[in-house]
Amino acid sequence: MNNVIPALEVRDITKRFPGVLANDHISFTLLPGEIHAFLGENGAGKSTLMNILYGLYAPDEGQIFINGEAVTIRNPSDAIARGLGMVHQEYALVDTLTVTENIILGTELQKNLLIDRKRAHQEVERLSQEYGLIVPPDSLVGDLPVGVQQRVEILKALYRRVNMLILDEPTAVLTPQEADDLFRVMRELADQGKSIIFITHKLREVLAVADRITVLRRGKVVGSANPHESTERSLAAMMVGREVVLQVEKGPAHPGEVVLEVEGLAALDDRGVQVLNDVSLEVRAGEVLGIAGVQGNGQTELVQAITGLQPASHGKVRLKGQDITALEPRQITAKGVAYIPEDRKGTGLVLDYTIAENMVLSTYYKPPFTQGLTLKEEAISEHADELIETFDVRTPSQLTAAGSLSGGNQQKIIVAREFSRDNVLLIASQPTRGIDVGSIEFIHKSIIAQRDAGVAVLLVSAELDEVLSLADRVAVMYHGSIVATLPAAEATRERVGLLMAGVQQEETTNG
Amino acid sequence: MADPHDAKDHRDPDQHPQDVVEQPAAPSDPTVPATKGVLRSIRWGELLVPILAIFTAILVGAVIVFLSAPAEKGSRLHVTWEAFKGLFIGAFGNWAEPSTIPNALSGTLVESTPYILAGLAVALGFKAGLFNIGAEGQLLIGALTAVSIGVWLPGWIGVESLPAIIHLPLAVLGGFVGGGLWGAIPGYLRAKTGAHEVITTIMLNYIALRLIDYMIVSGPMKDPAGSAPRTPFVQGPAILPQFVGVVRDPSLTGGNTYQPLIATTSSTWDLRVHAGLLIALLAVVFVWWLLNRTPKGFEIKTVGANPQAARYAGMSIVSTTVLTMTLSGGLAGLAGAGQVLGLEHNMKSVFSGGLGFDSIAIALLAKSNPIAIIPAALFWGALRQGAGAMQIRSGISINLINIIQALVIIFVAADQIVRWIYRIRREQGGQMVFTRGWGK
Amino acid sequence: MRFITRARAVGALGIVVSLVLMLAVNANLSTKLAEQRAAGSAKAPSSVWGYVSQLYIPEPKTPPGTPPVATIPLPTLGTVFFICVLLIAAGAFLIARNPERRGIGGYVSALIGFTFFVLLIWAVAGDRVDLADTLSRVVRVSTPLGLGALAGLVCERSGVVNIGIEGMMLTGACFGYIAALVVGNWFDAAGQAPVWFGVLIAVLTGGIMAALHALLSIRFKIDQIISGTVINIMAVGLTGYLRSNFIIKYDSPVKKPLNDLPIPGLSDIPLLGPVLFNHKPITYMMLLLVLIMHVLLFRTVWGLRTRAIGEHPKAADTVGIKVNRMRFWNVVIGGFLAGLAGAWFALEVTFRFDDLMTNGQGFIALAAMIFGKWTPLGAYGGALLFSSANALQLKVQNYDFALAPQFLQMLPYVVTIIVLAGVIGKARPPAAVGEPYDH
């Protein structure tokens, strides 16, 4: 093995951002035909490293060798020219262009000054046959499901004749079955001699597909592992740097009266397409109903319709028996509904505002924050100090702009604000997306604490593990409908995974 | 099997580098206080850039004058010197002859008065993420309604005249309401249909111009006694009085008597500055209070900073947008009312002359801070007031002022240019929200 | 769920407009009849229903008085009522069925188009109007709108909002005019050459102003709408300054704008000839550019890349497209087009330069672009809609019309607002428009 020239070798790459050492003397090699997994939690420096390889950032120190030759990669086209392609987590696809147009973009074939559509079309067909990546060449990318979009992304790289492919968190938006399909394609590519860098934080996947594993923590390589000799537990310890509790501690639920009752709810998305069909569910006081499902199967619309952010086209939403379907968001909030939105930076916070201002974002108009016609700064300020203390928001001051905090602390501001009211229902949508482990643990505990205090909790998460560890009952959404509701005990990863993929099994019990 | 590491790296690669690494439990930069706070403090460093922007713009203006100086007025350098000397004398008086000073300063204040109000109108829009280019039209309609009330209200209700305590406030309010309605239209369209206010307000400017043209040139509001197209003079009780001035012969003002607060016979002290200035200053205080001390202001700013978060927090985007545009239009309408009730005392078909566009410059110069509108408007007023004298002394067209104005906006909006020229470090934060794009 | 929707509002607006039109025409014709009878006019028909509006199509290029090729007599009141009833029925349909999207845009266009038509035949009641001339005017007046819309489109498709088109047009007009004056003077030439040179300079000037916009908004990342406003303010100041300091004092032998350029053969076709093939050069250029731009945008590499950088610049960047460089040049190309539109004002319609002579056409052009959903052919459709308002307003001034001319002059602006409010909700702008790109 030592005499093989590595397809890619990285030596002592270091990258600093203001105040942070993102990559600290990272070295590794990538062999031809190998699937090399990079494991690390958020902020471990995986993405920074890949962006350096792909020419999006310049390293402060260190060298990159491709096929034994030292290279400088200034931009993505440099990287592609040297045979290095990358599939980002957020696909770099133009929704309004066709599959073929997306694939040829940047390296178009011309005939008589016009794009040679015929040849492009043939080329795409050929590639798609060769690697078993089936795509409809003339459809608009925006109309395709994410799994197919991902294939377009991979084809795009293959069209450029790359022999190394970086896949950045490729399974984040896939069902377990789709992910397995992707692993098959990865294996196929590797067998044809392509090298693959596979970035993930999911231990199970690493063990399933990788030939070699490198673990990053706080910008450093903390170890390598062989998948045959590792377990999830050993990898997790290496990744986080301590033994971690893999289970959220919680006692049994004591469900009370029905708090939220959704009946036959339907809604349209902003293009007028019906994305939520006839959804019915109930959540009782003191229980967590978890909604599992691949992103984009109507979860967003369900939550928005319940919270009044988007009108429902049909159906009813009742809170403790009261119809709240047509109410404005403010009226719904006032009835004791707390809501952690999925888009922290875009919806949950005003990033330019101070922490104090963000903490009264939905209550500023009520006493004690407003009295008569004016805002009361002292009350707002006291409120903020209190919440910062209680919810352990790590900030120099309550006057710090929310935008300058880390994701975990930003999420804590939202949690603090929403939990500080008297609630009967908590809707938590992707509550721990993209934040550090410490904050995740804190937020999970807080959610369970709310449950135990008798609040009804509706948890929506694209992370199956999160749903499985927090929920007392699990509902699975697929194509805008709830396809099954299972008690936690019956909700195994495999069963829920199949339901998420739209595969109906024998009998599903209605919990 | 539960996995605690399901946090996904949902960072997109073009995010700010600081966001890349989210250090657990460590605030990223403890030295950064927020600029938009409950407790707000003026940061003097921020003043430097606008001042340098103005300085640079004037310098470039001087180069333009130098290059285009008319030959018959002497050497290029001389003309340039005379132009700027004229500008100063026009705005602040000839300090060699002290008797010219009160008049010049009063002129500067008179010019600044509508700028304060119109600048405030644009600034308020900016706070809510709305770009009101329609201050011009709102000002015209405000002037039209104010002058109508000032001239005809007593007639409509069948009395000879009304006491000033009733007539004047109603006329001023009329200006506010007229401008407010003209601003509410694009606000409503924006909120309900998504028609972008930049285009609709400009269209409403043209419509207002045609409407004024109709009303005053050929239509029902033309004064048959006037030679040039104009409305009749407003009644005495409806004017915004001069602070100090000479009582005009009623025959010059359509038979109405206009009483200044302090009457004088000295032409040195016959100052045009009128009570409209007080309205403008009160408006500044009001807008400052609204934005910084009231829940409505909090809503306006939130809608401007992040409409999605505002909606999530239960604020109504529609009503906030309509309210903001109505207030903004109302402020511009007040500017128009001040001009007709305090200065012209009637309305001519050719009326405002680009006040609307100037007000954008003022709002930008003041970075939409209501208090900072005052010095910005004073600067602008001084430029306008001085322009006349500049043209007389040097033969340079007053359009030069428009060029300087555009340059000031460039340098203020693109403060990187100024920072680059003068090597000033960027301070953290402070990026302001201007507008939202077509589809958002 | 909501009761008042876009479709219902548009439908209600249509019904109100139609009813008002019907009543107004009826009332106006009755008054007219009474007046004519009182004056003992021989032209007065027996009843209001007797008023006829004649549309005629003349033989091209023949002396006045030659009998027309065809005359279409339309009973004024009957036609108005017929059209209005149709519009009311369609409006009622919109209110009743309340469609989400479909049909609203079409209804808005039909409402506006038919309203113009009604105004036209109302104005010519008891008289006649040259149809070929009216339509030819529509095409002529659409020139700056079409060019402006293309200019906006080239920028916005690549992700840069350009509200500075008005200013680019104005500066183009001013500098083009000055260039024509000066060159004419230098060479003491009074022919077309200096004017053509002026056109070239106008185009380049538009490009330079656009480069400034690109520099401010792409390099310095100023808010694009602010940057466009800067261009507009700058243009007003600069051209005003040049006009008062230079143009009005300058004498030149050049006095005439670009000549007519009838296309041999084609311009002799009745109706079609005058409408499409008897124009001045810039109008032809505009018509060709609309078609060319459509092909360029949808069939070429440049077009594909332009659409990509306006929609998802990051995606384009990762495949090696220089997003900001390409945006820069697209904005400059837009400036060239706007400059050409400026030349139309100062060098084709007339040979003169006035302050603010572009009169908001740059902004209306943007509305046309939005109306056409950012496609060249669609945008030109929008341009025609607005130019008919303009042409109508100019045409009707020749007749004794019931409304004051100022109200007709408002028409293009009112139409712009209605179109934006009625249509934009369903028009989807390029996703990245207005956002500076930073990798």
Instruction: Domains for chain C: give ranges and CATH numbers.
Output: 6-126 (no CATH), 135-384 (1.10.3470)
Provide the mean pLDDT of chain B. Answer: 83
Mark yes or no for CB contact C237/B360 under 8 Å: no
Q: State which amino acid sits at residue A35.
A: I
Cβ atoms of residues C214 and C160 within 8 Å? yes
The reply to whether B199 touches chain C by the CB within 8 Å rule is: yes
The reply to whether B436 touches chain A by the CB within 8 Å rule is: no
For residue B12, the model assigns a pLDDT of 36
Cα first-last separation, chain B: 43
Nearest to B185 by CA among C418, C367, C412: C418
Interface of B with C in 336-375 (CB under 8 A): 354, 357, 360-361, 364
Shortest CB distance from C230 goes to which of B195, B354, B410?
Answer: B410
CATH code for A258-500? 3.40.50.300
- Would strands A164-168 and A84-87 be described as parallel, antiparallel, or unpaired? parallel
Asked if residue B11 has pLDDT above 50, the reply is no
Asked if residue B128 has pLDDT above 90, the reply is yes
Q: State which amino acid sits at residue C300.
A: T
What percent of chain A is modeled with pLDDT above 90? 43
The reply to whether A65 touches chain B by the CB within 8 Å rule is: no
Q: What would the pLDDT profile of B100-113 be if each residue is shown by its tens digit?
A: 899 999 999 999 99
Give kind and range of the element (H or E) at residue C75.
Answer: strand C70-75
Cβ atoms of residues A97 and C311 within 8 Å? yes
**Beta-carbon count within 10 A of A149 CB:** 19
Q: In sequence order, what are the beta bridge partners of C55?
A: C72, C129
Q: In sequence order, what are the beta bridge partners of C52?
A: C75
3-state helix, strand, coil in chain A (%, to 5): 35, 25, 40
Mark yes or no for CB contact A375/B298 under 8 Å: yes
Shortest CB distance from A113 goes to which of C1, C300, C316?
Answer: C300
Nearest to B268 by CA among B435, B106, B45: B106
Mark yes or no for CB contact A437/B24 under 8 Å: yes
User: Which DSSP category does C45 fall into?
Assistant: -
* Buried/exposed A259-297: b ≥16 CB within 10 Å, e otherwise: bbbbeebbbbbeeeeebbbebebbbbbbbbbbbbbbebb
Q: How many helices (H) and strands (E) are present in chain B, helices listed first?
A: 15, 2
The reply to whether B400 touches chain C by the CB within 8 Å rule is: yes
3-state secondary structure of C222: coil
3-state secondary structure of A217: strand
Mark yes or no for CB contact B34/A399 under 8 Å: yes
Q: State which amino acid sits at residue B33.
A: P
Cβ atoms of residues C53 and C124 within 8 Å? yes
Contacts of A407 in chain B (CB under 8 A): 19, 22
Mark yes or no for CB contact B357/C232 under 8 Å: yes
- A106–chain C nearest CA distance, Å: 5
Beta strands in A332-418 (DSSP E): 337-340, 370-371, 374-375
Rounded (5°) CA angle A412-A413-A415: 60
Contacts of B10 in chain A (CB under 8 A): 89, 172, 433-434
Burial class (CB in 10 A: 0-12, 13-18, 19+), B319: middle
| Phi–psi pair at B434, nearest 5 degrees | -105, -70
Copy the structure tokens of residue A109.
Answer: 């074939």
Helix B45-68, helix B415-422: angle, nearest 10: 90
Q: What would the pLDDT profile of C26-79 be if each residue is shown by its tens digit?
A: 998 888 888 888 888 777 788 888 888 888 888 877 777 777 888 888 898 999
Query: What is the rounded distance in angstroms from the CA atom of residue C311 to the CA atom of residue C159?
Result: 7
Shortest CB distance from C1 goes to which of A94, A272, A313?
Answer: A313
Contacts of C407 in chain B (CB under 8 A): 210, 214
Query: What is the rounded distance in angstroms from the CA atom of residue A141 to the CA atom of residue A146?
Result: 9
Mark yes or no for CB contact A88/B13 under 8 Å: yes
Copy the structure tokens of residue C204.
Answer: 């380049």
Shortest CB distance from B194 goes to which of C229, C417, C425?
Answer: C425
Residue at token pair 């359009």:
B399
Residue at token pair 């596979």:
A198
The reply to whether C317 touches chain A by the CB within 8 Å rule is: yes
Provide the mean pLDDT of chain A. Answer: 87
Distance of CA A221 to the CA centre of its chain: 24
Residue to test with chain B: of C245, C250, C439, most B Cβ within 10 A: C245
Q: What is the 3-state secondary structure (H, E, C) of A232-254?
A: HHHHHHHHHCCCCCCCCCCCCCC
For residues B245, B246, B249 and B254, what is the CA-based torsion angle, rounded to 10 degrees? Answer: -10
At B37, the pLDDT band (50, 70, 90 cuts) reads: very low
Shortest CB distance from A76 goes to which of C295, C300, C317?
Answer: C317
At B431, the pLDDT band (50, 70, 90 cuts) reads: very low
The reply to whether B419 touches chain A by the CB within 8 Å rule is: no
Model ipTM value: 0.86
Query: What is the rounded distance in angstroms from the CA atom of residue C390 to the CA atom of residue C142?
Result: 9
Interface of C with A in 377-436 (CB under 8 A): 431
Q: Where are the domains of chain A?
A: 8-240, 258-500
For residue B27, the model assigns a pLDDT of 39
The reply to whether B131 touches chain C by the CB within 8 Å rule is: yes
The reply to whether B58 touches chain C by the CB within 8 Å rule is: no
3-state secondary structure of A9: strand
Which of A35-39, B93-97, C100-104 comes out lowest in average pLDDT?
C100-104
| Phi–psi pair at C54, nearest 5 degrees | -105, 125
User: Which DSSP category does B98 fall into?
Assistant: G
State the sign of the Cα–Cα–Cα–Cα dihedral A480, A481, A484, A488: positive
- C106–chain B nearest CA distance, Å: 17
**Beta-carbon count within 10 A of C135 CB:** 19
Question: C342 in the Ramachandran plot: left (φ > 0), alpha (ψ -120 to 50) or beta?
Answer: alpha
Query: What is the rounded distance in angstroms from the CA atom of residue A376 to the CA atom of residue A367?
Result: 9
Interface of B with A in 314-333 (CB under 8 A): 314-316
Q: Is the peptide bond before B27 cis (omega within 30 degrees of 0)?
A: no
The reply to whether B313 touches chain C by the CB within 8 Å rule is: no
- B201–chain C nearest CA distance, Å: 9
**pLDDT per residue of chain A (511 residues) written in tens, 0 to 9:** 456 788 999 999 999 877 678 888 999 999 999 999 998 876 678 888 988 998 888 899 999 999 889 999 988 888 888 999 988 878 889 999 999 999 999 888 888 888 988 999 999 999 888 888 888 999 999 888 778 889 999 999 899 888 999 998 888 777 777 888 889 889 989 998 899 999 887 778 888 899 999 988 888 888 888 888 888 777 877 776 655 555 677 888 889 999 999 999 998 876 667 889 899 999 999 999 999 987 778 898 999 999 999 888 889 999 999 999 889 999 999 999 999 998 888 899 999 999 999 999 999 998 889 998 899 999 999 999 999 999 988 888 899 899 888 888 999 999 999 998 889 999 999 998 878 777 888 899 999 999 999 999 999 998 888 898 899 999 999 888 999 999 988 888 778 878 887 776 544 444 3
Residue to test with chain C: of B16, B76, B199, most C Cβ within 10 A: B199
Q: Which residues contact C43 (CB under 8 A, 6 or more apart)?
A: C36, C126
Burial class (CB in 10 A: 0-12, 13-18, 19+), B215: buried
The reply to whether A339 touches chain B by the CB within 8 Å rule is: yes
Q: Which residues contact A492 (CB under 8 A, 6 or more apart)?
A: none
Q: What would the pLDDT profile of B259-279 be if each residue is shown by its tens digit?
A: 899 998 888 889 999 999 999
Shortest CB distance from C237 goes to which of B198, B405, B439?
Answer: B405
Q: Hey, what CATH topology would domain A8-240 get? A: Rossmann fold (3.40.50)
Q: State which amino acid sits at residue C251.
A: D
Q: Which residues contact C352 (CB under 8 A, 6 or more apart)?
A: C177, C346
Tell which wins on pLDDT, C431 or B180. Answer: B180
Contacts of B7 in chain A (CB under 8 A): 41-42, 201, 432-437, 440
3-state helix, strand, coil in chain B (%, to 5): 65, 0, 35
Shortest CB distance from C240 goes to which of B193, B397, B434?
Answer: B397
Contacts of A341 in chain B (CB under 8 A): 312
**Beta-carbon count within 10 A of C61 CB:** 12
For residue B234, the model assigns a pLDDT of 93
**Beta-carbon count within 10 A of B433 CB:** 19
| Phi–psi pair at C40, nearest 5 degrees | 70, 30
Averaged pLDDT for residues B416-425: 78
- C268–chain A nearest CA distance, Å: 35
Contacts of B206 in chain C (CB under 8 A): 359-360, 410, 413
Q: Is the peptide bond before A368 cis (omega within 30 degrees of 0)?
A: yes
Cβ atoms of residues C401 and C126 within 8 Å? no
Mark yes or no for CB contact A400/B24 under 8 Å: no
Copy the structure tokens of residue B124.
Answer: 């308020």
Q: How many helices (H) and strands (E) are present in chain C, helices listed first?
A: 15, 5
Residue at token pair 């999420």:
A411
Q: Which residues contact C77 (CB under 8 A, 6 or more apart)?
A: C25, C26, C29, C48, C49, C51
Long-range contacts of B252-257 (CB under 8 A, 24+ apart): B253/B345, B254/B223, B254/B225, B254/B346, B256/B345
Cα first-last separation, chain C: 42
Mark yes or no for CB contact B34/A380 under 8 Å: no
Q: What is the DSSP string of A279-297?
A: EEEEEETT-EEEEE--TTS
Mark yes or no for CB contact C308/A88 under 8 Å: no
Q: State which amino acid sits at residue B130.
A: L
Mark yes or no for CB contact C318/A86 under 8 Å: yes
Highest mean pLDDT among A300-314, B17-31, B319-333: B319-333
Question: Which chains are within 8 Å of A by 3+ CB pairs?
Answer: B, C
Q: What is the 3-state secondary structure (H, E, C) of A23-92?
A: EEEEEEEECCCCEEEEECCCCCCHHHHHHHHCCCCCCCEEEEEECCEEECCCCHHHHHHCCEEEECCCCC
Contacts of A375 in chain B (CB under 8 A): 38, 293-295, 298
> Which ranges constitute the DSSP H helices of B237-369?
276-293, 295-305, 307-312, 317-338, 355-365
Q: Which residues contact B25 (CB under 8 A, 6 or more apart)?
A: A394, A406, A408, A409, A436, A438, A439
3-state secondary structure of A212: strand
Cβ atoms of residues A259 and A319 within 8 Å? yes
Give kind and range of the element (H or E) at residue A262.
Answer: strand A258-268
